[in-house]
Amino acid sequence: MLLGFVVLYLLVSIGIGLYAATRVRTTKDYAVAGRSLPLPVVTATVFATWFGAETVLGVSATFVKDGLGAVVADPFGASMCLILAGLFFAPKLYRMGLLTIGDYYRVRYNRPVEVVTSIAIVISYLGWVAAQIKALGLVFNIVTNGAISNEWGMVLGAAIVLTYTTFGGMFSVAFLDFIQMVVVMCGLLFIAWYISGFTGGVAPVVAHAAEAGKLKFFPEEASLALWVPFIGAGITMMLGSIPQQDVFQRITSAKNEKTAVRGSVLGGSIYFAFAFVPMFLAYAATMVDPYKFGELVKTDSQLVLPTLILQHTPVFAQVIFFGALLSAIMACSSATLLAPSVAFSENIVRGFYPKMSDRKLLTVMRLSLVGFALIVLFIAINSKLTIFQMVESAYKVTLVTAFVPLVFGLYWKRATTQGAYFAMTLGLSVWLSCEIFVKSEIWLAQIVGLFAAIAGMLVGSLIPQKVVRHQPLPEHLRAHH
């Protein structure tokens, strides 16, 4: 029965996604849903930015094992990313009417800066999307009681998400995000209510977690060895995720600037509050059966929550949980498959073929999406990292390469193209050098790279500039220019 409901749910999702595809006529429709989405849909799709495999399975597993201080990156850093993006970046970027975040770097600086930052953005999605595919494999393995292996589950999950996203783009993503957000919130709240009946309510779970030291958030000692990694983990997700195509797409898909701002702030705030529901459920499992789940925490904590649902709830509750879980993962993976494919097509491929028609560009976007899906499927099958680790490490490259040129370009008038070159070069080279040659548990490589990028922007913008003289425009183009 569980498997039957899961199959039915997947078929309905594909149908809705393909229906949304009928609204796609141009690349603007495909990439940013024609800039037409109302506030409820924008809020839902912003919420779905992060609420995926890492929140339901990864964050909850990490919390049960290591406590609240270990999840500073997500949900704390992740939700602040969405709120900051809404307050400080959405208004300026929305007014520019861009198709991708990479377009900003071309408009503000030049083509080489656009290419470098776009490549960094595309690379950053490899770990993130692979984590979602890995989770889909885990879910299919569980609901089929092992009949489908993790690897074939990943293949099946990738094929399903690829089907509707390839045709419908951001319209399919937005339609399904709204429906799936309702399923996720209602489903997980019902499961939390049901499981709390085993623990005597919510308060005993919170009290037990506090007594076990799981609710300690800040480091207890005033030591650089504790505070620097703690802050660094939060900053990586908080700031490194801002120059991302999926965040940009959700902001600029709104019907107007006010909706973009409100939707981003609301979505980020709801995400932060709701991320604690899976954490509550996973910790409640250790109270329901301390020995069994205590052993599972030691071996594979990602299985705590699914095992709790399968062994301690009726089929009806299992259907609701796995429906909600699939909703969360599919909503997140569809958008994160779309984002790098659009960025690659618009900011890298189109630069080599500037006269490409809109129809051909749309075809390139769809083909890029299929290619990217195959790459992340390969990574997901072969990676040994946990879901949380794959997500946490995804945005280091954008933090050291793309974040500084974006912020300084928007808020510092003296930021120059030379400064952007210095920032990208220093940020990337220092980060890689630290990752390879200088392993430090205190000074995280990406944070050192961020400081290097800031220094590069300041120095490169303030020293004498290298002037590039361009050929004058033809007479018939000067007035238009």
Quick: pLDDT tens for 253-294: 889 999 999 999 999 999 999 999 999 998 998 898 888 888
Give the mean model confidence (pLDDT) for residues 93-122.
92
Whether the bond between 75 and the residue before it is cis, its omega within 30 degrees of 0, is yes
Side-chain-side CA neighbours of 165 within 13 Å: the count stands at: 28
Q: For residue 88, is pLDDT > 70?
A: yes
Give the mean model confidence (pLDDT) for residues 51-61.
80
How many angstroms separate the CA atoms of 204 and 214, rounded? Answer: 14
- Alpha helix positions (H), 253-314: 257-274, 276-288, 290-300, 304-312
Residue environment code for 47-74, b if the CB has 16+ CB neighbours within 10 A, otherwise e: bbbbbbbbbbbbbbbbbbbebbbbbbbb
Q: For residue 1, is pLDDT > 60?
A: yes
Burial (CB count within 10 angstroms: exposed 0-12, middle 13-18, buried 19+), residue 385: middle
Q: For residue 416, is pLDDT > 70?
A: yes
Give the pLDDT score at 386.
66
Give the mean model confidence (pLDDT) for residues 382-394.
69
Lowest mean pLDDT among 28-32, 89-93, 230-234, 344-348: 28-32
Q: Which residues contact 242 (CB under 8 A, 6 or more apart)?
A: 81, 84, 85, 89, 403, 406
Contact (Cβ atoms closer than 8 angstroms) between residue 49 and residue 86: no
Residue environment code for 332-361, b if the CB has 16+ CB neighbours within 10 A, otherwise e: bbbbbbbbbbbbbbbbbebbeeeebeeeeb
Give the pLDDT score at 439.
75
- Higher pLDDT among residues 71 and 9, named by residue: 71
In this prediction, residue 471 has a pLDDT band, given cuts at 50, 70 and 90, of very low
Q: For residue 2, is pLDDT > 60?
A: yes
Cα separation values, 180 from 78, 215, 216, 365, Å: 20, 30, 32, 25
Dig out the tokens for 297 from the structure: 């925490």
Q: Residue 254: beta bridge partners?
A: 37
How many angstroms separate the CA atoms of 429 and 378, rounded? Answer: 27
Give the mean model confidence (pLDDT) for residues 369-379.
91
Q: For residue 186, is pLDDT > 80?
A: yes
Q: Which residues contact 9 (CB under 8 A, 6 or more apart)?
A: 323, 326
Q: For residue 63, is pLDDT > 50?
A: yes
How many angstroms separate the CA atoms of 56 and 388, rounded? Answer: 10
Helices 315-344, 150-199: crossing angle, 10 deg rounding: 130
pTM: 0.84
